[in-house]
């Protein structure tokens, strides 16, 4: 397992933390956060049910905004202003997908998601936002089911996309039926979160178990979407799936400031067929390194039949090792930027 320490530096290019003195937290929020709904009453009501369209960016972001607000009390003991809420990684990822054009229609057969057209539209043909759906709708509806949201499970329903309606679920009962394991794991996360004796590391464990269940239960359903992208972008998507397993092992804490800074390394646009990292024009050196490193990590994982992941999991079993990796990440990001 001698290769494991050097591959810590691969993750360093992808993950990052930074010490920020007295920050204005609103500057770290995802795009259009303030414009997104912040309470259930901001959505329309029909027959006593809140109707939410998750195929509109601000509506989907509003689901996260309500979720962050309703769980804030459980993170107050870790830091002020909800900064240490580990659910921040989810809306920030959606924000990056929106900002980088990854929520738009990759086939370009519609105007969905394109600037000056229907730019708030989220395309059902986007691999990124289809996977994100199960990291938004499931955590959101499971939170409703757990009682955290303050409404009954039958009081909210999500609208379907214009196509592929059968690939998604839209309310608590429907998601319980079609994706029971996802709902179970997210519910377990919320139940632990409500425990007076909860601690941060265990919250992270429950979070990543739930996150993994959403990915494992959805990735296989959208592999056909890879065909809509260039080879470099499709490879990056596949690499993204692999790196999550390494994040899980390291108990990476996706808090507000840390995730915002880590996203500086993510590609600012969809990759083209001519893009070859680390020589992609218009990308920062860090962004080039991240694309190259994630693809390299995927190739290593494939060539070792995931033995590299097994070694990484062994290395990350101690809290000291996890703290050291985060420290190395912090040093690297400061040098790279």
Average pLDDT over residues 168-177: 98
* Confidence check: pLDDT of 18 > 60: no
Handedness of CA 80, 85, 88, 89 (dihedral sign): positive
Q: What is the dihedral of CA 13, 17, 18, 21, to 10 degrees?
A: 160
Task: Please list the residues that pair with 157 across neighbouring strands.
Answer: 51
Q: Which two tokens stand for residue 48?
A: 């006593």
* Confidence check: pLDDT of 21 > 80: no
Contact 3, 311 (CB under 8 A): yes
Q: Render pLDDT for 307-334 as a digit per residue (tens, 0 to 9).
A: 999 999 999 999 999 989 888 877 777 7
Report pLDDT for 224.
Answer: 97
Report pLDDT for 325.
Answer: 87
Q: Render pLDDT for 71-121 as a digit per residue (tens, 0 to 9).
A: 999 999 999 999 999 999 999 999 999 999 999 999 999 999 998 778 999
Q: Render pLDDT for 221-268 as a digit per residue (tens, 0 to 9).
A: 999 999 999 999 999 999 999 999 999 999 999 999 999 988 999 999
The count of residues in the chain is 337
Report pLDDT for 115.
Answer: 80
Non-local (6+) Cβ contacts of 322 within 8 A are 250, 251, 316
Could you tell me which of 175, 184, 181, 179 has the C-alpha nearest to residue 146? 184
Task: Please list the residues that pair with 118 across neighbouring strands.
Answer: 112
**In angstroms, rounded to a whole number, what is the distance separating the alpha carbons of residues 323 and 328?**
9
Helices 3-12 and 319-336 cross at an angle (nearest 10°) of 50
Residue 34's CB: how many other CB atoms inside 10 A?
9
Report pLDDT for 6.
Answer: 43
Q: How confident is the model at residue 275 (pLDDT cuts 50, 70, 90)?
A: very high
Handedness of CA 32, 84, 236, 275 (dihedral sign): positive
The conformational region for residue 282 under phi > 0 = left, psi -120 to 50 = alpha, else beta, is left
Report pLDDT for 326.
Answer: 83
Average pLDDT over residues 55-84: 97
Sheet bearing 156-158, strands edge to edge: 44-46, 49-52, 156-158
Non-local (6+) Cβ contacts of 308 within 8 A are 3, 4, 7, 297, 300, 301
Give the CA distances from residue 4 to residues 86, 110, 296, 330, in Å, rounded to whole numbers and listed in that order: 27, 45, 13, 19
Report pLDDT for 261.
Answer: 87
Q: Which two tokens stand for residue 248?
A: 């899980």
Q: Render pLDDT for 284-307 as a digit per residue (tens, 0 to 9).
A: 999 999 999 999 999 999 999 999
Average pLDDT over residues 9-18: 45
Q: Render pLDDT for 204-216 as a digit per residue (tens, 0 to 9).
A: 999 999 999 999 9
């Amino acid at each position: 397992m001698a290769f494991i320490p050097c591959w810590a530096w691969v993750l360093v290019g992808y993950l990052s933390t930074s010490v920020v003195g007295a920050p204005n937290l609103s500057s770290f929020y995802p795009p259009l956060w303030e414009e997104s709904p912040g309470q259930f009453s901001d959505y329309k009501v029909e027959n006593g049910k809140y109707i939410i369209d998750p195929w509109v960016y601000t509506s989907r972001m509003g689901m996260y905004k309500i979720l962050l607000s309703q769980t804030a009390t459980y993170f107050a003991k870790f830091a002020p202003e909800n900064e240490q809420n580990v659910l921040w990684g989810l809306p920030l990822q959606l924000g990056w997908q929106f900002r980088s054009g990854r929520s738009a229609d990759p086939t370009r057969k519609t105007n969905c998601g394109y600037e000056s057209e229907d730019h708030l539209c989220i395309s059902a043909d986007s691999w990124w936002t289809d996977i994100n759906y199960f990291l938004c709708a499931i955590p959101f509806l499971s939170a409703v089911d757990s009682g955290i949201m303050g409404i009954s499970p039958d009081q909210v329903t999500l609208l379907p996309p214009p196509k592929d309606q059968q690939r998604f679920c839209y309310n608590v009962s429907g998601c319980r039926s079609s994706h029971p394991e996802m709902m179970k794991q997210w519910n377990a996360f919320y139940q632990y979160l409500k425990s007076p004796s909860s601690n941060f590391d265990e919250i992270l464990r429950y979070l990543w178990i739930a996150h993994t269940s959403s990915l494992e239960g959805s990735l296989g359903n959208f592999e056909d979407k890879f065909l809509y992208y260039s080879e470099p972008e499709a490879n990056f998507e596949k690499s993204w799936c692999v790196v999550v397993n390494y994040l899980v092992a390291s108990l990476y804490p996706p808090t507000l400031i840390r995730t915002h800074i880590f996203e500086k390394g993510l590609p600012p646009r969809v990759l083209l067929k001519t893009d070859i990292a680390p020589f992609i024009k218009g990308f920062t050196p860090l962004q080039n390194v991240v694309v190259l490193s994630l693809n390299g990590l995927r190739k290593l994982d494939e060539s070792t039949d995931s033995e590299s992941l097994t070694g990484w999991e062994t290395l990350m079993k101690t809290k000291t090792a996890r703290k050291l990796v985060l420290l190395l990440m912090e040093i690297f990001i400061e040098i790279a930027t």
